């Protein structure tokens, strides 16, 4: 009996969209199945694929190491984890953006800001432990500070706060996207200190843990409820179809068939 293609799909917010796409493409035929149950492998005889239900951040790992032939993964995870997988299709589902945000009232240090970008220090510092980082990096209270109150979310106000903030050295950034954040600010020649968090990123600027955050933004409602302001978009994020490179070589007919059928139903 021919072995079925193994497809890893993520739990969470794009699970239903992923399942709908696979149904339209003819790979699963059980509309009453509860894919949100504790069951993790679905392998019905009349289905054309074996489904693995995986945590979103683990999908690229399952695919890269061959535990799954194909997977559906967010572009944010692919950018962050640098996995060696083939990425043939943008599925257009789970659309959101990864962005920089600040609290609407932010202290900005305006003393001794070096605006000569040619001689400014370029680099970054990182600490994966928030508590240790806070012990090591204390703000200089002697520096003159000004509080910028944003009364209206106009484009001009957003640009002003962004420009003032980006002139500073060692901006403290809270995020779970360490690599994306490093790359983004390094390309701008901005020195940042990264505090890695694993959840509730919006809480960090409210408690003084950081100056800015880098996180996913969907509707913007969470930012609004926590008085946070999006100041710059880093990338638009959608879910992508990814393929194990060895599977593509050893089973090209089946893999290309899956890609073709899914592409026809995007």
Give the per-residue pLDDT at 43: 87
| Contact assessment for residue 41 and residue 52, using Cβ atoms and an 8 Å cutoff | yes
Confidence grade of residue 132 (pLDDT, cut at 50, 70, 90):
low
CATH of the domain at 185: 3.40.190.10
170 and 181 belong to one structural domain: yes
Residue 24's Cβ-count burial label (10 Å; 0-12, 13-18, 19+) is: middle
Strand 96-103 versus strand 212-217 pairing type: antiparallel
251 and 153 belong to one structural domain: no
Boundaries of domain holding 76:
5-95+238-263
136 and 230 belong to one structural domain: yes
| Contact assessment for residue 67 and residue 5, using Cβ atoms and an 8 Å cutoff | no
41 and 118 belong to one structural domain: no
Look at residue 180 and tell me whether its pLDDT is greater than 70. yes
110 and 201 belong to one structural domain: yes
Task: Look at the chain and report how many structural domains it folds into.
Answer: 2
Q: Give residue-wise pLDDT tens across range 165-177.
A: 888 778 999 999 9
27 and 140 belong to one structural domain: no
Give the per-residue pLDDT at 30: 78
**Torsion sign, CA atoms 16, 18, 19, 23:** positive
Please tell me the pTM assigned to this model: 0.79
Look at residue 131 and tell me whether its pLDDT is greater than 70. no
Residue 79's Cβ-count burial label (10 Å; 0-12, 13-18, 19+) is: middle
156 and 177 belong to one structural domain: yes
35 and 80 belong to one structural domain: yes
Helices marked H in the chain:
15-24, 59-64, 75-81, 130-136, 155-166, 178-188, 203-206, 221-225, 245-250, 252-263
Q: Give residue-wise pLDDT tens across range 133-154.
A: 454 444 443 333 434 444 445 6
63 and 189 belong to one structural domain: no
Strand partners, 49: 5
Element (H, E) at 121: none
75 and 112 belong to one structural domain: no
90 and 109 belong to one structural domain: no
102 and 178 belong to one structural domain: yes
Least confident interval from 16-30, 92-106, 141-155, 205-219: 141-155
């Amino acid at each position: 009996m021919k072995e079925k293609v193994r497809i890893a799909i993520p739990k969470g917010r794009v699970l239903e969209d992923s399942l709908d796409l696979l149904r339209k493409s003819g790979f699963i035929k059980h509309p009453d199945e509860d894919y949100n149950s504790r069951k993790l492998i679905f392998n019905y005889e009349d289905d054309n694929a074996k489904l693995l239900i995986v945590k979103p951040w683990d999908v690229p790992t399952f695919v890269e190491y061959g535990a799954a032939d194909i997977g559906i993964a967010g572009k944010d995870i692919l950018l962050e984890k640098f996995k060696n997988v083939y990425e043939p299709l943008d599925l257009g589902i789970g659309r959101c953006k990864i962005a920089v945000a600040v609290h609407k009232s932010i202290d900005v240090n305006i003393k001794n800001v070096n605006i000569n970008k040619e001689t400014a220090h370029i680099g970054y510092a990182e600490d994966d432990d928030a508590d240790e980082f806070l012990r090591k990096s204390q703000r200089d209270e002697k520096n003159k500070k000004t509080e910028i109150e944003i009364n209206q979310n106009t484009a001009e106000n957003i640009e002003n706060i962004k420009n003032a903030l980006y002139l500073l050295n060692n901006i403290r950034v809270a995020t779970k996207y360490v690599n994306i954040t490093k790359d983004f600010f390094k390309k701008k020649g901005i020195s940042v200190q990264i505090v890695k968090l694993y959840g509730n990123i919006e809480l960090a600027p409210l408690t003084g843990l950081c100056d800015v955050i880098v996180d996913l933004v969907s509707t913007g409602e969470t930012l609004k409820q926590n008085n946070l302001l999006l100041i710059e978009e880093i990338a638009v994020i959608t879910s992508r179809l990814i393929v194990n490179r060895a599977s593509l070589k050893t089973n090209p007919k089946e893999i290309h068939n899956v890609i073709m059928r899914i592409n026809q139903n995007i």
